Amino acid sequence: MKKINILLALLLTFGLSFSVQGKDKDKYFSKNTKSAEKSFNEAKYSDAIMLFEKAYPKAKGSKEKGFITYHIAVSNQYIGNNKAAKDYFERALRFKYERTEPDIYTRLAQMQMQDGEYKKAKRNYEMALKKNPNDDIAKKGVEAVSKVNDILANPTKHKVQAVKELNSEYYDWSLSRFDKRGEQFIFSSTRKASTGSINDQVANEEYTDLYITRVDRSGNFGEPTSVGENVNTKNHEASAVMYNNYKSMFFTRCKKEKNTVSGCQIFSTDMKGKNWKDPVLVKITDSLGFSHGHPATDRKGTFVVFSSDMPGGRGGKDLWIIEYNKRTKEWGKPQNLGSEINTAADEKFPTITTDGTLYFSSNGLPGVGGLDIFKATRVGTKNKWEKPENMGVPINSSRDDHGITFGKTGTNSGYFSSSRLGKNEMDQKSDIFKFDLPECALTIKGRVRDQDTKEPLAGATVILTGSDGSTATIKADSEGNFEFGKRGTGRYVKKGVNYTLEFSHEKDGKFWLKKKSKRTTIGDYCNETFYEDIELLCAVGCKPIVMPEVLYIFGTAKFVNDEKVKSADSLLFLYNIMIDNPTIRVQLESHTDCRGSDAANQALSQRRAQACVDYLISKGIDRSRLVAKGFGESQPRVIVENGTEKTLGCDMITALKTSNPTLFEKYHQFNRRTSFSVIPDPNAPK
């Protein structure tokens, strides 16, 4: 298996700095070295490596040896032979060749990043900054190393696997949709069926062509076929994108003539029947002599985002945009996408989704090594993007990752290309991978019961309302169970939403108070079930409702509210019920023990009930919803002890005064209580 990285050595780098060489080169270098340099400048890297190695033993001194060693390293870098590139860069450093080529530290660090050697990469990026504090690539490299552990420690939940039917022993990359139904795809490949019958001298592979493949309902791809001779030629054709209802296409064509690299250009073509018209050059202003490719566009082809090394960029390959003028029928002047997107390194392989989001690859923004795929947000309706976000692992790897495209159902599934290692160390070719974000099956389930009896409330109503505007209503089953799970082909509960659940029940003249609870799926939730065990309080047709303890100062209607007993807090129990049930009216019912006269106790209980009403009014409850009712000592409390009901009558309690004073006071306290009942709506159906 060849170890050539097609992303760095073939057409997709269009316009490499092939003239990389020592700035102080000795004009007396040997003939063999000059011959090797000629091959290097013609991008014949495999030949250059062989010739440089042959020239090395006859080199005249350390300066020439450093020159040879550095160029062998760069040649190996361009063909993806990382191990050899790193070895030769380190040898070049022993010749102190960084004095001639200060970028040697940055190049070595980039190779180390691709091999996951982050500590070594950090040291060399820092050395590069010592040599040149303005080295933007080294600055971004140091930033990337500082963030890489966080990216690796927080992988996304995407599932990634190679598309075996499409990946050959050659280079296969940049799959994108070819038809409206999403049943056909177009991609680039150097497989043997290439129209160009000669090998590319850079990669020693067949010239690249565009191929069509069909996917069945099971997601399996069929045998690829050529897109056609009007598109595929003896030159390189790659990186295609469809538009105009999938009847038109932009693609990249790169010419490689004898001993020269002519660069790449973007072409467009329209479908004519089952064939393609002769491609037309997309004329880009101010780009003469420079390469451009990797087109991306919207559905109508009104603009093209592309990668180019033209002047005016941030360095390396930048992303640019041109817009089509329907009146003049010409493409406008290219605009650089700016420093939010572009860096001093390379930005390539843009993709535009239907909602205008930009995806692209960069080796200048903080990533995990090589080209990483980033997502950038569109600014309003303008063709401007900002805040690029690394897609994370496993979509990104320490190798080159690029050319992302999406399926029919949004951005949770699709395809991308990567040169990540395959079965062995030698397998560094570009392959096509499929990614999928499994559905996060979030569920809210539970049970609704009566608060006092603990019996299930069959048929209780449960309403689910989401902050995204969604709403759903279901009924509890015969055991009081409910579940918000599957909903047709989707689900009731989705990620990133705050939910409110409202529980209510009415049956056989009885009415239970509504209750609400809240759940959120904002956060790292996936395949989780949220459980709600809900108890509803019967308010009509059942016994009066006893509130949490409300105590009063002896002989007064003022309730105790100190550090030990906070009666006001107990009234919040009723306050919350009335907030959750905004239509109910409530009667506050106070009771006394049997000490004192009937008349005095009646008056005292009325004042105590009114004190509770006044407090709730002060909290914002409407006065018309509250009624105060005192019962004095007329309704002794019924409790359950040892499984037996016991009425706390005055005679029974008085008998305990001498025999059990503690129980005597306890039972009197039980009778001094405040409860409430819901006043039935006279207009409610019977």
- Domain containing residue 571: CATH number: 3.30.1330.60
The single-letter code of the amino acid at 355 is: D
The single-letter code of the amino acid at 2 is: K
Q: Which of 415, 436, 457 is the last residue of a domain?
A: 436
Q: What is the pLDDT of residues 618-659, one digit of tens each?
A: 999 999 999 999 999 999 988 888 888 899 999 999 999 999
As a dihedral over the C-alpha atoms of residue 131, residue 132, residue 133, residue 138, rounded to 10 degrees, the angle is: -100
Give residue 26's pLDDT band: very low, low, confident or very high (50, 70, 90). low
**Among 245, 256, 164, 176, which residue's Cα sits nearest to residue 210?**
176
Per-residue tokens: 448: 């609704």
Q: What is the pLDDT of residues 382-416, one digit of tens each?
A: 889 999 999 999 999 999 999 999 987 778 899 99
Q: H helices within 514-597, ranges in order?
A: 567-580
In DSSP notation, 399-437 reads S-EEEEEEETTEEEEEEEEE----SSTT--S-EEEEEE-
Q: Give the integer Cα–Cα distance in Å for 270 and 203.
A: 31
Per-residue tokens: 529: 């079930």
**9 pLDDT more than 60:** no
Q: Give the integer Cα–Cα distance in Å for 215 and 224.
A: 10
Give residue 686's pLDDT band: very low, low, confident or very high (50, 70, 90). very low
**Among 444, 531, 543, 429, which residue's Cα sits nearest to residue 493?**
444
Q: Are residues 402 and 293 in the same domain?
A: yes
**286 pLDDT more than 90:** no
Question: Is the residue at 1 inside a domain?
Answer: no
The overall average pLDDT reported for the chain is 87
Q: Give the integer Cα–Cα distance in Å for 15 and 9.
A: 10
Give residue 18's pLDDT band: very low, low, confident or very high (50, 70, 90). very low
Q: Are residues 241 and 324 in the same domain?
A: yes
Predicted local distance difference test score (pLDDT) of residue 641: 86
Q: What is the pLDDT of residues 168-187, one digit of tens each?
A: 888 899 999 999 988 999 99
Q: Are residues 33 and 131 in the same domain?
A: yes
CB 125 within 8 A of CB 138: yes
Question: Is the residue at 85 inside a domain?
Answer: yes
Predicted local distance difference test score (pLDDT) of residue 422: 53
Q: Are residues 483 and 586 in the same domain?
A: no
Question: Is the residue at 39 inside a domain?
Answer: yes
Say which range, 6-20, 60-74, 227-241, 289-303, has the weakest mean pLDDT.
6-20
**684 pLDDT more than 70:** no
Q: Give the integer Cα–Cα distance in Å for 537 and 548.
A: 14
* CATH number of 526's domain: 2.60.40.1120
**Among 402, 399, 235, which residue's Cα sits nearest to residue 307?**
402
Strands (DSSP E) found in 34-149: none
Report the predicted TM-score, pTM, of the whole model to 2 decimal places: 0.68
Q: Give the integer Cα–Cα distance in Å for 40 and 202.
A: 10
Q: Are residues 429 and 485 in the same domain?
A: no
Predicted local distance difference test score (pLDDT) of residue 674: 85
Q: What angle do CA 386, 392, 395 make, to 5 degrees?
A: 110
**20 pLDDT more than 60:** no
Say which range, 134-148, 432-446, 482-496, 670-684, has the weakest mean pLDDT.
670-684
pLDDT above 90 covers a percentage of the chain that reads 65
Q: Are residues 326 and 223 in the same domain?
A: yes
Strand partners, 296: 305
Predicted local distance difference test score (pLDDT) of residue 563: 72
Q: Give the integer Cα–Cα distance in Å for 250 and 260.
A: 25
Q: Are residues 406 and 361 in the same domain?
A: yes
Q: Give the integer Cα–Cα distance in Å for 672 and 17.
A: 92
Q: Are residues 516 and 652 in the same domain?
A: no
Bond before 279 cis per omega within 30 degrees: no
CB 359 within 8 A of CB 404: yes
Q: Are residues 100 and 173 in the same domain?
A: no
Q: Give the integer Cα–Cα distance in Å for 109 and 123.
A: 8
Q: Which of 389, 404, 436 is the last residue of a domain?
A: 436
Question: Is the residue at 489 inside a domain?
Answer: yes
Give residue 22's pLDDT band: very low, low, confident or very high (50, 70, 90). very low
Q: Are residues 30 and 108 in the same domain?
A: yes
Question: Is the residue at 479 inside a domain?
Answer: yes
Q: What is the pLDDT of residues 107-120, one digit of tens each?
A: 999 999 999 999 99
* CATH number of 68's domain: 1.25.40.10
Predicted local distance difference test score (pLDDT) of residue 16: 37
Q: Which of 489, 509, 540 is the last residue of a domain?
A: 540
Pairing state between β 385-390 and 486-487 = unpaired
Question: Quick check: helix, strand or coil at residue 674?
Answer: strand
**281 pLDDT more than 80:** yes
In DSSP notation, 137-204 reads HHHHHHHHHHHHHHHHHS--S-EEEE-TTT--SS-EEEEEE-STTS-EEEEEE--TT-S--SBPTTTS
**Among 96, 102, 52, 100, which residue's Cα sits nearest to residue 73?**
52
Predicted local distance difference test score (pLDDT) of residue 681: 65
Question: Is the residue at 686 inside a domain?
Answer: no
Predicted local distance difference test score (pLDDT) of residue 617: 95
**How far lies 42's CA from each of 23, 47, 255, 284, in Å?**
18, 10, 13, 26
Give residue 424's pLDDT band: very low, low, confident or very high (50, 70, 90). very low
Q: H helices within 202-315, ranges in order?
A: none
Question: Is the residue at 27 inside a domain?
Answer: yes
**425 pLDDT more than 50:** no
**What is the chain's Cα-based Rg?**
39
Strands (DSSP E) found in 467-525: 471-475, 481-484, 486-487, 490-491, 498-507, 510-520
**23 pLDDT more than 80:** no
Q: Are residues 403 and 495 in the same domain?
A: no
Give residue 195's pLDDT band: very low, low, confident or very high (50, 70, 90). low
Give Cα 126 to chain centroid, integer Å. Answer: 31
Per-residue tokens: 122: 């950090």
Give residue 193's pLDDT band: very low, low, confident or very high (50, 70, 90). low
Q: Are residues 339 and 217 in the same domain?
A: yes
Higher pLDDT, 421 or 273: 273
Range of the domain at 649: 545-679
Question: Quick check: helix, strand or coil at residue 86?
Answer: helix
Q: Give the integer Cα–Cα distance in Å for 73 and 53.
A: 11
**91 pLDDT more than 90:** yes
Domain tally for the chain?
4
Question: Is the residue at 256 inside a domain?
Answer: yes
Predicted local distance difference test score (pLDDT) of residue 125: 96
Q: What is the pLDDT of residues 231-276, one digit of tens each?
A: 999 888 999 999 999 999 999 998 766 555 567 999 999 998 889 9
Give residue 552's pLDDT band: very low, low, confident or very high (50, 70, 90). confident
**Among 246, 137, 229, which residue's Cα sits nearest to residue 182?**
246
Q: Give the integer Cα–Cα distance in Å for 412 and 203.
A: 34
Question: Quick check: helix, strand or coil at residue 514?
Answer: strand
Q: What is the pLDDT of residues 558-580, one digit of tens each?
A: 877 777 667 777 788 889 888 88
* CATH number of 214's domain: 2.120.10.30
